[in-house]
Structure 1
């Protein structure tokens, strides 16, 4: 096997592990099942995280991001955009990089997330702990979710969400319902709840349904990705604004990854578990690129949106 060869999925009918970019017009990378080895290991969760560690924001980065948010708000108000998710990246120098220890810290800090390490010699090293499921499907029965809104966890999940956050969450839920109604049946939308991811809280709404016989996994993935939780609404106009105005390339941040069409003795057909690539970083030698963003609506406050990205970046920095 040539371990440096890049494989891609053509139509999501293959089996293996998929790693897809934010831009849904680009190809999704595949680790094919037939060329992969499966190794299991018991990992200790005794890695230490310094919860009291403080970080100092870059004033230039702050000014740049606030200007981007302000421009986004202006664009929303003068066009038919309802929401746009804008993001930024931070560069963090790493001393004594230890992959296993960082992975342990991610597992320890994100007990309710999908935690991963992904590497290919032509792409590089990525780590993440995402709280958001893009899609789980077993025997045509699928589950997805809308996830939006962010608050710092302060010893309780019994909090009050403001109208901006509630409206943002509803936009995502409405989009998912609209996208899935024509390709599925028995759609069920659960009650919105507050969930904890690391030291942050989010609003989550679970959506379940049954994929129609004439629809495929590719149809389902195309309907969902990228969701308004990572892109915006309307989707294509939001995506165009992001690609033209963010000051970097997202690459695999806000893409998706996971197991694709793996066979199980429990189900009649192979099942897939795909997750949105949030709370992630790429590693290049002794430098970590951390990716953070937030959903912008007409009611957003640029300074508060900056602070939200700071809170998200600090959570990731504590594992380094």
Structure 2
């Protein structure tokens, strides 16, 4: 039994209201308490019962998991401005009332969300509702960190708020999430698969290699879409459960808005900042896993020796090294990559460590790094211009930064690959590959098929 001092939510809200009156501005209230352990997928499923938007995040080592239910605050910028988001968050924290005896854990007010791959892309039907950057502070946030469980409740209090009614509503919904009925995960069944113009996509690979051979660009990352349909509405809780069990060494995420959910399991960290310590990842170059240990080792060794994949990886290393050195010191990057194994794939991997210079935040780093050559190409502007002109896929948040940050701007962002956009009984899966001078369209096509596999299996395929 966990023995904790009970925090009276109504007393906190009353104190916050006094601050609102004194400052003539709403107060952002956040209260964290330790709770008995609860399964995060069960908590995610419980969010269905109060019919509010949900969030899920798991670190690659699965030691930290978040589940968010509801929306206390949404930061939404159609122009996808990193700096506006940073300033709005600072202002929100200035007008806050935070009660958190457990700030040594990943608790308290935390914003979750993502940026678009290309801020200039016009969002149409596929990504409707996901335009610009969007970051949500959940009303109820379950944190599982260091084998302990915490619940953070967040709400806005205004000068005229009815505190008794507000407190009663929060307590009712909290009890429903923690102690009420939790819908069981339903098995998803795929009944239809449709590749979007694979022949045209292969022609695009040829067009890209032509541009590269004309020395207009060194590398271009091209993505494509696989559409699927289910026999009934897809249960994203079931998808998360499968991803947790099968995709080790991956960041697992879900960001739901109005019954549309962007969900995935990505191996690629963009950046993590913890007390000004910076950690990033260079991940590019791909090979399948073998069916036996001997075959697996063979594929891995071939990947390490393959010049095409090594060149592709080096583009990423060089870009991230240059970017990190512009805002950090004591930058540490190994000379040679190692293998990063996943269930279906293995990649070339180079870790990056540094100390962030004073005055810079996690959001500054994300802005500087995105998009990396692993998801866009190199040089950045030339490859991005090619993608804008010729790629037919609406990328939306695919291949873009998705993650979280706390009140101190500590947090973590991953690159949203190995992902799908789920809406009702339909889903679009996304996969891409890096095209360089000697790329073969058929080989690149087969690589994207392999990259579809993790999400396809998790969705029921």
Match of 1:233 among 362, 378, 382: 378
- Offset of residue 270 of structure 1: 4.7
Instruction: Check the 8 A contact 1:84/1:231 in 2, yes or no.
Output: yes
Structure 1 equivalent of residue 214 of structure 2:
78
Q: CA deviation at 1:241?
A: 1.0
Quick check: 2:71–2:139 contact (8 Å CA) kept in 1? no
Asked whether 1:142 is paired with 2:278, we answer: yes
1:67 pairs with 2:203: yes
C-alpha displacement of 1:4: 10
Q: How does 1:258-297 map to 2 (within 5 A)?
A: 258-260=403-405, 262=406, 269-297=408-436
1:109 counterpart = 2:253: no
Matched-pair contact (CA < 8 Å) for 1:48–1:105: no
Map 1:1-320 onto structure 2 (within 5 A): 3=71, 6-8=74-76, 10-12=84-86, 14=89, 15-24=110-119, 27-32=132-137, 36-39=139-142, 58=195, 61-96=197-232, 97-121=234-258, 124-154=260-290, 155-156=292-293, 157-158=296-297, 159=300, 160-161=302-303, 162-190=306-334, 191-260=336-405, 262=406, 269-320=408-459
Displacement of 1:314: 2.7
TM-score by length of 2: 0.61
User: Shift of the alpha carbon at 1:211?
Assistant: 1.4
1:141, CA displacement in angstroms? 1.1
Residue by residue over 1:107-142, the C-alpha shift from the partner in whole angstroms, topping out at 9 and shown as x without a partner, is 112111111221012x82111001000110011110
User: How many angstroms does 1:98 deviate by?
Assistant: 2.3
Richer in helix (by share): 2
Alpha-carbon distance, 1:36 to partner: 2.9
| Residues 271-311 of structure 1: CA deviation (Å, up to 9, x unaligned) | 11111101000012211100010001102111100000111
State whether residues 149 and 202 of structure 1, in contact with CA within 8 Å, keep that contact through their aligned partners in structure 2. Answer: yes
Q: Could you tell me the TM-score, scaled by structure 1's length?
A: 0.86
- The size of the alignment, in residue pairs, is 305
Worse-matched range after superposition: 11-20 or 202-211: 11-20
Q: Which has more radius of gyration?
A: 2
Q: Is the 8 A contact 2:194 2:226 kept in 1?
A: no
How many angstroms does 1:152 deviate by?
A: 0.8
Q: Deviations over 1:162-194 (max 9, x none)?
A: 110011001100111111222211110034111
Q: How far apart in 1 are the matches of 2:419 and 2:355?
A: 31
Q: 1:257 to 1:233 in 2, by over 3 A?
A: same
Gaps of 5+ in 1: 264-268
Deviation digits for residues 39-98 of structure 1 (CA, Å, limit 9, x no counterpart): 36899xx99999xx9x9885x733111101001111111133111100011101112422
* Alignment partners' CA distance in 2, 1:232 and 1:286: 34
Q: Give the structure, 1 or 2, with the largest relative contact order (CA under 8 Å, sep 6 or more).
A: 1
Work out the CA distance in 1 between the residues paired with 2:73 and 2:331. Answer: 40
Please provide the CA RMSD for this pair. 2.9
CA contact 2:75–2:85 (8 Å) conserved in 1: no
Partner Cα distance (1:197, 1:22) in 2: 24
**Deviations, residues 200-243 of structure 1 (Å, cap 9, x unaligned):** 11111101111112434333112101111100111111111112
Alpha-carbon spacing, 1:47–1:192, altered in 2? closer, same or farther (3 Å): farther
Long gaps (5+) in structure 2: 1-51, 53-69, 77-81, 90-109, 121-130, 150-181
